[in-house]
Amino acid sequence: MSEETHPCFKRATIDTPQAGGKKKVWKGLKQILQTDKMLPWPEEAVTYSSLNPPPSFFPAKKYSDISGLIAPYTDPTTKLHYHNAEEYSTVKQLPMDLTAGYLALRGASSIVG
Amino acid sequence: MNFIELKDLKLTPHVIQKYPPPKHAAVVIDNGSYESRVGWSTSDKPLFCFRNFIAKSRKERERILPTQIGNDIVNIEGIRHQLRTQFDKNVVTHFQAQEQIFDYIFGHLGVNTDSCVPHPVVLSECFANPNHSRQLMSELLFECYDVPSICYAFDSICSLRRNKVSKDVLIVSFGYHTVHVIPVLNHKVIHTKVRRLNVGGFNMINYIHRLMQLKYPVHLQALTLGKMEDLLKNHCQVSEDYMEDLKKWANADFYDQNIRKVQLPFAIQQPALTAEQKLEKRRELSKKLVEITTRKRHEKLKEDEEQYEIMTNIWNLLEVGDMRSFQQALKDNNLENKNELEKLMISVKTRADRSRIKLSQPPQPIEEKVTAPAAPIPPPGISIDDWVEEVKKKRSDIHEKKQFRYKRRQDLAKRRTAAAQERMRIISHLAKKEKGTDDFGMRDEDWDVYKVISRENDSDSEVENEKLIEFEDVLRHYDPNYEDPTIASGIGTAEYHQLHIGLETMRTPELLFQPSMMGSSEAGIGELIEFVLKMFTAEEQLRLANGVFITGGCGQFPGLKERLSTELLKMRPFQTPHKIYVARDPSLDAWYGLRDLGRRSNLKDFSFTKNDYYEKGAEYFKDHDMGNLYFKTPVVVEQDIRFEN
């Protein structure tokens, strides 16, 4: 860091370049949790991962991807949920990127295909 | 009709505070993943709040611009992609960014002491903050800023202390990345039974942003994250009964009454002229031309008449016999002799006469050369209505075909689509044929495969385009409801540039209750509260249910309290009471609570010093009833064995 951005109240900076001029890489939350998980924590310890909620025990309700209304139907080709015939005609005309976008929003974009 | 206005996020730079503050003042920072709130323990209110953002140019050569931090960021919508935060979810992980944030904080507090920040620090941290993260935070504060002591505390507990709720509380803290459900019995946090839902304001903003983008792909540019945040903050509400509200929204009248509209800026476009208007315009033009020619003729006639009069006067001189004057007059008018004068007089006279005749006739309109094209004649043996219907159907068929081809073309252009992959599969299948067994081309159908994999045959055919024009011509003449497609599209009208926001305002906060809507398998808040309550005895459950406390910035949705009440009613035993409290200021109470902690005379009982840090290890911190418990990171088993040996 250059001199001008170094305020007077600072004694040091953690942004010192590492050996070999490499930039310091900060562990992401996932990595930190992964490391923590490997450790033999005592029974009573409260860790970030131990606070995770249980999975939902209710089946996910089906809502129309387009309008958000209750969706009794699913379009077999695009896999989009829809509310009624009118919505179905919209679904049919949606370009690929929009159908993919709707599926991704619902977390339903399949890895295959 | 409800028009609403969405505002972009605008940051105004903070002033640098006066320094030093009253003696022994501690720095109080509520370091949230959404916003950082900063002040002295002696302040009445937070001195400044800012989004925990830094903007840093990615490319080396763009580094000329200094890194912008917090509210010093100008044009935040323009550099969204450059924004970095020190947070990963609700945990600080990127300490270089945190360092820059601290520079900003201490700088704006006006700290000017040399090589140290000589104030105790009261800092919020998340529940079960990993030791790794806390250790780096302590390291940063002690090593780089040389602060005398640090006190870590929970934002939600601090917020609770600001509000008068009973001694048994179930805190539901709505944050930017998470929702925490925290049971408190006899003022003591039951750490092992705290649970966290990984959904927050961040997810909701992104959800509604994407929803609107998908709904209005043409207005992609206008849908900024800042506007969507404004939409979420000021126009969204939690539905009390989602299923019931969905039924209401399915009703067209309800939709019309409750829809909210956003008018985007647009340039007014002149609508294309209809055939009639064009004709009218042409008529006007020809009328004007006729007027001009008439006026010109009048002028010419007047000129001719004047000239004729002069010549008659000269001729009169001749008749009178005044030869001298006559010769002089001829000379003045550039005439040679008497014959020439006579000739000229005749020609002027005939010209004037002709003009007079023309002017006496009514102006002849310029003949309309462009006559309306003849109406197409319906084929014999069919009524016009049936014919129109038939043509309409044919037309929509062609449109559908065109649409399909357009879609296929688009799909083929991308790699990861079913159409493109099917094509690749066929191609690789064709190429795969082993030697000797290749009988490709034996059957005529073999060649059809080239039609399938060809990209070229997808262009719209000429014949179809001609047919389409023909059909449209027919409809224009016989179908009263026919709208010209160029007019019907409505581009350039105010309506075209309107966003309709309906169910989205309820659908988005519903994520908190049904995370499955965004593909998460986690239990929603209602279910999670029930799960946490079930870990207690029936008597404790009743005590907790009577002290449900809502706090956190995202806890401010209208209807949230009512919805939680409905959820509690559903899960609690029949006819048992429950009570819900809402924090006085869900966003800022955490800071006020932290400040109260900083004001305590026994703050040092909640803090640990630099000496502790050196003596007891970097991950050591003082635990107390308003913060995390200290669990030493276990050392790996191998080392233990060696130690015992």
Tell me how close the Cα of B614 comes to any Cα of chain A, in angstroms. Answer: 17
Residue B275, C-beta contacts closer than 8 angstroms, at least 6 positions apart = B372
Alpha-carbon Rg of chain A, whole angstroms?
25
Tell me which chain A residue has its CA closest to the CA of residue B399. A93
- Mean pLDDT rounded to a whole number for chain B: 87
Q: Measured between alpha carbons, how far is A48 from A38 in angstroms, rounded to an integer?
A: 13
Tell me how close the Cα of B503 comes to any Cα of chain A, in angstroms. Answer: 7
Question: How confident is the model over B320-329, as pLDDT tens digits?
Answer: 877 888 888 8
Question: How confident is the model over B71-82, as pLDDT tens digits?
Answer: 988 888 888 888
Residue in A7, A53, A66 nearest the CB of B197 = A53
Q: Which of B49, B148, B152, B140 minimizes the C-alpha distance to B102?
A: B140
Residues of B in contact with A14 (CB under 8 A): 95-96, 99, 139-140, 143-144
Question: How confident is the model over B158-202, as pLDDT tens digits?
Answer: 999 999 898 999 999 999 999 999 999 999 999 999 999 999 999
Phi then psi dihedrals of residue A98, to 5 deg: -70, -45
Q: Measured between alpha carbons, how far is A31 from B86 in angstroms, rounded to an integer?
A: 15
Contact (CB, 8 A) for B177 and B530? no
Peptide bond before B373: cis, by omega within 30 degrees of 0?
no
Question: How confident is the model over A38-52, as pLDDT tens digits?
Answer: 999 998 899 999 999
pLDDT over threshold 50, residue B404: yes
- Banded pLDDT at A86 (limits 50, 70, 90): very high
Give the mutation candidate from B96, B219, B402, B629 for the A interface (greatest A CB count, under 10 A): B96
- Banded pLDDT at B428 (limits 50, 70, 90): confident
Tell me how close the Cα of A21 comes to any Cα of chain B, in angstroms. Answer: 15
B55, containing H or E segment: strand B54-55
pLDDT over threshold 80, residue B434: no
Q: Which of B491, B495, B483 minimizes the C-alpha distance to B274?
A: B483
pLDDT over threshold 80, residue B375: no
- Mean pLDDT rounded to a whole number for chain A: 86
Say if the Cβ atoms of B528 and A35 lie within 8 Å. Answer: no
How confident is the model at residue A1, as a pLDDT?
A: 41
Q: Measured between alpha carbons, how far is B399 from B393 in angstroms, rounded to an integer?
A: 10
Domain boundaries, chain A: 25-50, 73-106
Of A64-78, B289-303, B356-370, B442-456, least confident by mean pLDDT is: B356-370
Phi then psi dihedrals of residue B208, to 5 deg: -70, -30
Question: How confident is the model over B110-163, as pLDDT tens digits?
Answer: 999 999 999 999 999 999 999 999 999 999 999 999 999 999 999 999 999 999
ipTM of the complex: 0.92
* pLDDT, mean of residues A16-22: 67
- Banded pLDDT at B626 (limits 50, 70, 90): very high
How confident is the model at residue B435, as a pLDDT?
A: 66
Of B58-72, B218-232, B488-502, least confident by mean pLDDT is: B58-72
Question: How confident is the model over B248-284, as pLDDT tens digits?
Answer: 999 999 999 999 999 988 876 666 667 788 888 888 9
Residue B378, C-beta contacts closer than 8 angstroms, at least 6 positions apart = B384, B387, B478
Contact (CB, 8 A) for B225 and B8? no
How confident is the model at residue B492, as a pLDDT?
A: 64
Q: Measured between alpha carbons, how far is B516 from A107 in angstroms, rounded to an integer?
A: 8
Question: How confident is the model over B7-30, as pLDDT tens digits?
Answer: 888 888 999 999 889 988 999 999
CB pairs under 8 A between A and B: 187
How confident is the model at residue B645, as a pLDDT?
A: 47
Q: Measured between alpha carbons, how far is B41 from B121 in angstroms, rounded to an integer?
A: 10
Q: Measured between alpha carbons, how far is A71 from B254 in angstroms, rounded to an integer?
A: 19
Q: Measured between alpha carbons, how far is B469 from B167 in angstroms, rounded to an integer?
A: 79
DSSP B631: -
